[in-house]
């Protein structure tokens, strides 16, 4: 058996520049298609125009579904149903990458849709139980509850009898999902959302942890490190978990609602919950990695990030602490269609990696896809990075063919 020192020195080095590994599962045709898609997304004005016309076409019920399905939907989604996703699940599994089935239907704010969403997520948990290729399930509480109701609860608003009953149904839906995950031994993420409903989500999540995480980490809360209080929140929730004798599941992300948060804080004249600079966010994210690794007897983490430095930082800290790449309490996750250079190279080096694979009817998933397009436009260099990596791989393949042809 290897000692910690031997194990740490035998770990394979990770390079996020190795496009031969990053895109090994993609055909030339698919890669060229991605190349042109990111080339377009690299132009902010084109993203804005395209988003406007797609929204308009959908409102007018014009026949654009086939176009959407063959381009942006195909890049970032696994399909319209779990069955549609099986091909993607298999492709990722062959590269030692797990799948996180993410039912990404949004904007349907009524009781019937909430109950339907619960039933769909239960199916993802059952599918995850069947094989090791799906290590996590995931849901948003706003998929199960009215945002207005969650905000009322957070603000301490006196609820009517009907509202109290509605919130109890929310608690029951969350419990139903976490209970099924516990029964099936499937880890489940509860995604973070806007600050004005996040306290309500946190309280529900910790209630579920205290109920289902005493034997092993099942329920994971999400910590948005672009919020200046999140690092302390992680530390405090870890101490509570230690005192109550349960495991803390923590998904670490930077955050996805920065513009919305800043505008609302300005309009509401309250303290902006977001760090003043990206450097502050990056610092807290990496400090959160340190804290989690040093407290891994209690904390299990998943780094939900496309930041190359943070991923490399985590691998280096694992090496320094003598933690094996495949330690079951440490995972990395990226979105389908993005940062394959991170996902596939980490997996090739033996680390635990999973891809978020969104799915759902095309029309219902469009809000998610619009956010992905806007995210690629707004994250500094994201589309450019994807574009250049794909370009590099296409040139590498062309060079290989040329060399092979010369030798023959």
Phi, psi values for residue 304, rounded to 5°:
-90, 85
Report whether 176 contacts 124 (CB < 8 A). no
Provide the whole-model pTM. Answer: 0.90
Q: Is the pLDDT of residue 138 over 90?
A: yes
Closest CA to 28 of 393, 342, 337: 393
Provide the CB-side half-sphere exposure for 20 (13 A, CA). Answer: 5
Q: Which of 87-96, 146-155, 377-386 has the lowest mean pLDDT?
A: 377-386
pLDDT for the residue 377? 53
pLDDT, position 367:
77
The predicted-structure confidence for 51-64, as pLDDT tens digits, reads as follows 655 655 556 566 66
As to burial, measured by CB atoms within 10 angstroms (0-12 exposed, 13-18 middle, 19+ buried), residue 9 is exposed
Once rounded to an integer, what is the mean pLDDT over residues 381-397? Answer: 83
Structural domains in the chain, CATH included, are 27-77+365-408 (no CATH), 93-359 (3.20.20.220)
């Amino acid at each position: 058996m290897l000692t910690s020192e031997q194990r740490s020195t035998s770990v394979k080095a990770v390079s996020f520049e190795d496009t031969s590994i990053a895109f090994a599962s993609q055909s030339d045709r698919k890669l060229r298609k991605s190349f042109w898609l990111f080339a377009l997304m690299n132009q902010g004005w084109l993203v804005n125009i395209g988003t406007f016309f797609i929204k308009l076409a959908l409102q007018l019920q014009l026949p654009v579904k086939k176009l959407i399905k063959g381009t942006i939907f195909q890049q970032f989604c696994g399909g319209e149903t779990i069955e549609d996703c099986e091909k993607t699940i298999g492709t990722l599994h062959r590269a030692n990458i797990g799948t996180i089935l993410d039912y990404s239907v949004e904007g349907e704010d009524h009781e019937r849709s909430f109950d339907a969403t619960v039933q769909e997520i239960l199916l993802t948990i059952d599918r995850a139980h069947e094989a090791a290729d799906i290590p996590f399930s995931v849901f948003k509480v706003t998929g199960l509850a009215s945002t207005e109701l969650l905000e009322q609860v957070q603000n301490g608003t006196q609820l009517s009898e009907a509202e109290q009953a509605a919130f109890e149904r929310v608690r029951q839906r969350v419990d139903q999902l976490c209970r099924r995950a516990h029964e099936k031994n499937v880890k489940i993420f509860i995604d973070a959302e806007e600050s004005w409903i996040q306290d309500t989500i946190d309280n529900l999540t910790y209630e579920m942890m205290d109920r289902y995480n005493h034997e092993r980490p099942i329920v994971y809360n999400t910590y948005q490190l672009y919020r200046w209080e999140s690092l302390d929140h992680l530390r405090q929730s870890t101490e509570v978990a230690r005192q109550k004798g349960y495991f803390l599941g923590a998904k670490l992300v930077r955050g996805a609602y920065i513009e919305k948060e800043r505008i609302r804080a300005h309009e509401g004249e309250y303290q902006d919950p977001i760090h003043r600079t990206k450097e502050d966010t990056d610092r807290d994210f990496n400090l959160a990695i340190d804290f989690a690794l040093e407290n891994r007897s209690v904390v299990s983490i998943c780094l939900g990030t496309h930041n190359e430095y943070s991923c490399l930082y985590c691998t280096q800290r694992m090496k320094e602490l003598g933690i094996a790449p495949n330690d079951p309490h440490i995972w990395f996750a990226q979105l389908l269609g993005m940062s394959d250079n991170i996902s596939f190279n980490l997996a090739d080096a033996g680390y635990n990696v999973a891809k978020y694979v969104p799915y759902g009817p095309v029309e219902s998933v469009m809000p998610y896809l619009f956010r992905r397009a806007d995210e690629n436009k707004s994250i500094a260099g994201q589309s450019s990075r994807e574009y250049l990596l794909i370009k590099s791989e296409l040139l590498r393949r062309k060079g290989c063919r040329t060399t092979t042809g010369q030798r023959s």
